[in-house]
Amino acid sequence: MTSPHRLSLAGIGCGARTRTYTKLAMETPERYKINAAADPVRERTEAVRSYAPADEQVSVRLFENAEALLAEPKLADVAIIGTQDNYHYIPCQKALRLGYDILLEKPIAQTLREALQLRDLAEELNRRVLVCHVLRYTPFYNTIRDIITSGELGDIITFNANEGVGAWHFAHSFTRGHWGNSNTSTPMIVAKCCHDMDILYWLFGRKCESIASFGELTFFRKETLRSPRPERCVDWTTPVGEDPWDARKYATDAEARRWLRMVYDRADEATEEEIYEWLRTSPWGRDYLQCDNNQPDHQVGIMRFEGGMTGTFTMTAFEQGRHIEIYGTKGKLRAGVFYKNNGPGEITVQDHFGGPVRVIEVPEADGGYAGHGGGDWGLVNELYDDMVNVPTPADMKTSITQSAHSHVMAFAMEHARLTGQVINVADFERLVLEGTLQY
Ligand SMILES: NC(=O)c1ccc[n+]([C@@H]2O[C@H](COP(=O)([O-])OP(=O)(O)OC[C@H]3O[C@@H](n4cnc5c(N)ncnc54)[C@H](O)[C@@H]3O)[C@@H](O)[C@H]2O)c1
């Protein structure tokens, strides 16, 4: 591909996600350029600057926060909004008005109403907004989508989809971490599973019409504690790791240290003593049964889509990885981590009459990147096309117009869980937009 134009980037909120994207972008400096970065933590903006080619680093402008960067006239083609969930709407809206196109981390905004308003503003201003639904860019889901569109399965009648968040990940992110409390982030089904809602909509190309849901917080809560114990794991007297969710493992266990890297800037060089000290005050040092979390650790949804297709979705803390079964008039597809680990393969297709099981190999993630199954790399790769090569926002592989439906589905599923009702998705969207329902 020829690259007549280097797409310039301004990182707003230079935490784990923005650093991942800017680092990947700068592996193809003939296509991308970093012009600016904003974050209250100086090391993070400096890290973003360090990804630029050495002779360009001096011209990367660093700002203390989003407000300072957005007080300037437009500094780059694309603003990456990588701040936390409760601070997407304001910087995104400002950046759109300043003329930026946007790479916007999910969730689009903290409330559905704001998400829909951003969608409408982008449409009104004719700006390009790519929401980071990274699964769309994975070889795994692209392979499944190709099989569906090839007609090999016939008409799709029903599916079961599962998102196994993972027991440590759930405690790290959705109990102790940024997304443990829905009041300061978004409901679990939005924060984690807007990815799943988006991929279902994208795989089948049909909108969801109605939803019911159940789910609750059963295990990661105070009631699970059998006897009192200190609120900080560093004060426990049990052997380290006896309890599988012991936060002291951040200092002692290689896998836990990988998670630490996402929340502690000095994770790589820190000694065990330093990490223990950090655990005394950090949210990640808390007993996972004595936090202020309220996210359900399991939730199921049942859905009806256009044309009568039905499906179930399960989110649980107590499984690792996604898997899906899709049933069509000609055949069935089974795919995901469970099938990869238990055979015969990561994706299989079989007809209904005992025909051979076809095992489909998933191509290696381009560039060998494992992040989100290759999705991080795929998204950065596609960003250039979506921002530079396609003629209009409507031609993007992923535009906010499409991505917003995942948020309508996810918030509708939360409304169904909280009310016990079956939710008509189109009505729900209308009621939220007009302000009758508060989501
Ligand atoms: N697409 C995905 O798969 C995926 C995965 C994880 C997280 N996310 C989403 O990405 C977003 C960022 O997550 P993260 O893990 O990188 O979080 P993070 O906490 O590492 O990064 C957020 C950054 O924003 C900075 N910040 C705070 N106030 C700011 C301000 N006023 N101006 C500028 N910067 C400010 C913080 O200092 C921090 O560095 C979240 O919305 C999260 O839900 C998406």
Residue whose Cα lies nearest atom 5 of ligand 1: it is 17
CA of 88 to the centre of ligand 1 (A): 9
Phi-psi region of 227 (alpha: psi -120 to 50; beta: other; left: phi over 0): beta
In which band, very low, low, confident or very high, does the pLDDT at 1 lie, cut at 50, 70 and 90?
very low
Residue 49 CA to residue 61 CA, distance in Å, equals 8
User: Residue 421: pLDDT above 50?
Assistant: yes
Nearest ligand 1 atom, CA 65: 32
For the segment 315-336, the average pLDDT, to the nearest whole number, is 97
For tokens 């190999």, name the residue. Answer: 361
Average confidence score pLDDT of the chain = 95
Give the pLDDT confidence of 126-175 residue by residue, as tens digits. 999 999 999 999 999 999 999 999 999 999 999 999 999 999 999 999 99
For the segment 235-246, the average pLDDT, to the nearest whole number, is 97
Residues forming beta bridges with residue 61, ordered by sequence position: 36
Contacts 24+ apart (CB under 8 A), 177-183: 177/263, 177/283, 177/284, 178/84, 178/85, 179/85, 179/295, 180/283, 180/291, 180/292, 180/293, 180/294, 180/295, 181/292, 181/293, 181/294, 181/295, 182/294, 182/295, 183/294
* Ligand 1 neighbours by CB, cut-off 6 Å: 12-17, 38-41, 44, 65-66, 82-85, 87, 105-106, 132, 134, 178, 262, 372
Q: Where are the domains of the chain?
A: 7-135+376-399, 222-285
Residue in 21, 105, 179 to alter for ligand 1 test, most ligand atoms within 8 A of Cβ? 105
Residue 387 CA to residue 104 CA, distance in Å, equals 13
Cα 218 to Cα 128, 184, 293, distances in angstroms:
41, 21, 12
For residue 199, give the nearest of 311, 308, 121 by alpha carbon: 311
User: DSSP states of 280-314 as a string?
Assistant: TTSGGGB-TTSS-----SEEEEEEEEGGG-EEEEE
User: DSSP states of 244-270 as a string?
Assistant: TT-TTHHHH-HHHHHHHTTT-TTTTT-
CA of 14 to the centre of ligand 1 (A): 7
pLDDT of amino acid 11: 98
Give the pLDDT confidence of 3-61 residue by residue, as tens digits. 468 999 999 999 999 999 999 999 999 999 999 999 999 999 999 999 999 999 999 99
CA of 223 to the centre of ligand 1 (A): 31
CA of 237 to the centre of ligand 1 (A): 34
Give the pLDDT confidence of 167-208 residue by residue, as tens digits. 999 999 999 999 999 999 999 999 999 999 999 999 999 999
User: Residue 371: pLDDT above 70?
Assistant: no
Q: Report percent pLDDT > 90 for the chain.
A: 94
Task: Check: CB of residue 384 under 8 Å from CB of residue 33.
Answer: no
Give the pLDDT confidence of 68-86 residue by residue, as tens digits. 999 999 999 999 999 999 9
Give the pLDDT confidence of 423-438 residue by residue, as tens digits. 999 999 999 999 999 9
Residue in 23, 41, 84, 186 to alter for ligand 1 test, most ligand atoms within 8 A of Cβ? 84
Which is more confidently placed, 124 or 2?
124
Residue 207 CA to residue 307 CA, distance in Å, equals 9
Helix (H, G, I), strand (E, B) or coil at 227: coil
Other beta carbons less than 10 A from residue 337's beta carbon = 17
At residue 9, what is the residue type?
L
**Pairing relation of β-strands 156-165 and 310-316?**
parallel
In which band, very low, low, confident or very high, does the pLDDT at 343 lie, cut at 50, 70 and 90?
confident
For the segment 121-125, the average pLDDT, to the nearest whole number, is 98
CA of 99 to the centre of ligand 1 (A): 22
Residue 282 CA to residue 267 CA, distance in Å, equals 13
H-only helix segments in 331-393? 337-342, 375-384
pLDDT of amino acid 365: 65
**Which superfamily is assigned to 7-135+376-399 in CATH?**
NAD(P)-binding Rossmann-like Domain (3.40.50.720)
User: Residue 62: pLDDT above 70?
Assistant: yes
For residue 319, give the nearest of 168, 191, 196 by alpha carbon: 168
pLDDT of amino acid 185: 95
User: Residue 101: pLDDT above 90?
Assistant: yes
Other beta carbons less than 10 A from residue 304's beta carbon = 18
